[in-house]
Amino acid sequence: MKHFSSLLFLLGFYGITQAQHAKVTTNVAGQEPETSRFVKSQEFSQPCLGSRSMADVTNPWMRTVTSGKRIHGAPNKSALELRKAEKTRLKFENASREASPEVNNPLATTPTLGTNFLGNELFGGTPSDNSMAISNGGIIVSADNATMEVYDGGAQNPYLFTLTGHSDFFSFLNPAPTGNIYDPKVLYDSGSDRFIYMILHGTSSQQSELLICFSQTNNPATGNWWVYRIQANQGHPGSWFDYPNIGVSNNELYISGNMFTDAGQNSGNIVFQIEKNACYSGQNINYQYWSDVQHENEPAFTMVPLSFGQQGNYGPGIYLVANETSNPSDRIFLFDLTNDMSSNNETINTYSVNTTAFDVGGDAAQSGSSVLLDVGDNRIQNGFYLNGYIHMVFTSDIGQGWNGINYNRINLNSLSVSRSTYGLVGSYDYCYPAVASSGTSVNDQSVIIAFVRSGQDIFPEFRAVNCDHSMQWSNSVQIKAGEDDVNIGGQSPDRWGDYTGISRRNGVNRTVWAAGCYGQSGNNWNVNNGWNAWIAELTDGGQPQAITEANDKTALRVYPNPTVERFSVEFEMLERMDINVSIYDMKGTLVKVLLEDNLKPGMKTLHFNRNALSSGTYIINVTSNQKTLAHEKLIIN
**CATH code, domain with 606:** 2.60.40.1930
Q: Which of 415, 601, 572 is nearest to 3 (CA)?
A: 572
Same structural domain, 280 and 355:
yes
Q: For 125-173, how does the pLDDT look when each residue is reduced to its tens digit (9 = 90+)?
A: 888 999 999 999 999 999 999 999 999 999 989 999 888 889 999 999 9
Q: For 391-408, how does the pLDDT look when each residue is reduced to its tens digit (9 = 90+)?
A: 999 999 999 999 999 999
Residue 207 covered by a domain: yes
Q: What is the CATH number of the domain that holds 305?
A: 2.120.10
Looking at this protein, which amino acid is placed at residue 221? A
As a whole number, mean pLDDT of residues 41-48 equals: 97
Residue 518 has pLDDT above 70, yes or no: yes
CA separation, residue 122 to residues 54, 145, 225, 229, 381 (Å): 18, 7, 24, 25, 21
Domain that holds residue 297: 44-53+62-182+202-211+229-539
As a whole number, mean pLDDT of residues 247-264 equals: 96
Same structural domain, 527 and 626:
no
Residue 9 has pLDDT above 70, yes or no: no
Q: Is the Cα dihedral 279, 281, 282, 286 positive or negative?
A: negative
Same structural domain, 262 and 337:
yes
3-state secondary structure of 341: helix
As a whole number, mean pLDDT of residues 466-483 equals: 94
In angstroms, the CA 579 to CA 595 distance is 8
As a whole number, mean pLDDT of residues 574-588 equals: 78
* Confidence band of 99 (pLDDT split at 50, 70, 90): low
CA separation, residue 357 to residues 67, 83, 327, 541 (Å): 35, 16, 11, 32
Same structural domain, 458 and 520:
yes
Global pTM reads 0.83
| pLDDT greater at residue 569 or residue 408 | 408
Task: State residue 122's pLDDT score.
Answer: 87
* Confidence band of 547 (pLDDT split at 50, 70, 90): very low
Residue 330 covered by a domain: yes
| pLDDT greater at residue 66 or residue 200 | 200
Residue 191 covered by a domain: no
Residue 221 covered by a domain: no
Same structural domain, 496 and 563:
no
| Mean pLDDT (the chain, rounded) | 87
Q: Which of 264, 256, 216 is nearest to 235 (CA)?
A: 256
Taking the CB of residue 368, how many other CB atoms lie within 10 A of it? Answer: 13
Q: Which of 36, 254, 149 is nearest to 501 (CA)?
A: 149
| pLDDT greater at residue 151 or residue 563 | 151
Percent share of the chain, pLDDT over 70: 89
Residue 255 has pLDDT above 50, yes or no: yes
* Confidence band of 380 (pLDDT split at 50, 70, 90): very high
Same structural domain, 533 and 577:
no
Same structural domain, 111 and 246:
yes
Task: State residue 553's pLDDT score.
Answer: 42
Using the 3D structure, point to which of 539, 561, 583 is the last residue of a domain.
Answer: 539
- Secondary structure (H, E, C), 357-392: EECCCCCEEECCEEEEECCCCCCCCEEEEECCEEEE
Give the burial class of 486: count Cβ atoms within 10 A of its Cβ; 0-12 exposed, 13-18 middle, 19 or more buried: buried
Same structural domain, 242 and 356:
yes
How many domains, the chain?
2
Same structural domain, 455 and 566:
no
* Confidence band of 5 (pLDDT split at 50, 70, 90): very low
Task: State residue 274's pLDDT score.
Answer: 98
* Confidence band of 108 (pLDDT split at 50, 70, 90): confident
Using the 3D structure, point to which of 539, 563, 593 is the last residue of a domain.
Answer: 539
* Confidence band of 314 (pLDDT split at 50, 70, 90): very high
Residue 16 has pLDDT above 70, yes or no: no
Same structural domain, 535 and 571:
no
Task: State residue 29's pLDDT score.
Answer: 43
Peptide bond into 562 cis (omega under 30): yes
Using the 3D structure, point to which of 509, 539, 569 is the last residue of a domain.
Answer: 539
Residue 597 has pLDDT above 50, yes or no: yes
Task: State residue 555's pLDDT score.
Answer: 62
Same structural domain, 520 and 553:
no
Strand locations in 219-251 (E) = 225-231, 239-248
CA separation, residue 94 to residues 208, 428, 555 (Å): 44, 11, 46
In angstroms, the CA 11 to CA 121 distance is 41
* Confidence band of 253 (pLDDT split at 50, 70, 90): very high
Q: Which of 359, 281, 350 is nearest to 319 (CA)?
A: 350
| pLDDT greater at residue 150 or residue 596 | 150
Same structural domain, 365 and 480:
yes
Q: Which of 478, 429, 423 is nearest to 456 (CA)?
A: 429
Residue 587 has pLDDT above 70, yes or no: no
Task: State residue 71's pLDDT score.
Answer: 59
Residue 317 covered by a domain: yes
Task: State residue 25's pLDDT score.
Answer: 63
In angstroms, the CA 240 to CA 225 distance is 26
As a whole number, mean pLDDT of residues 579-606 equals: 79
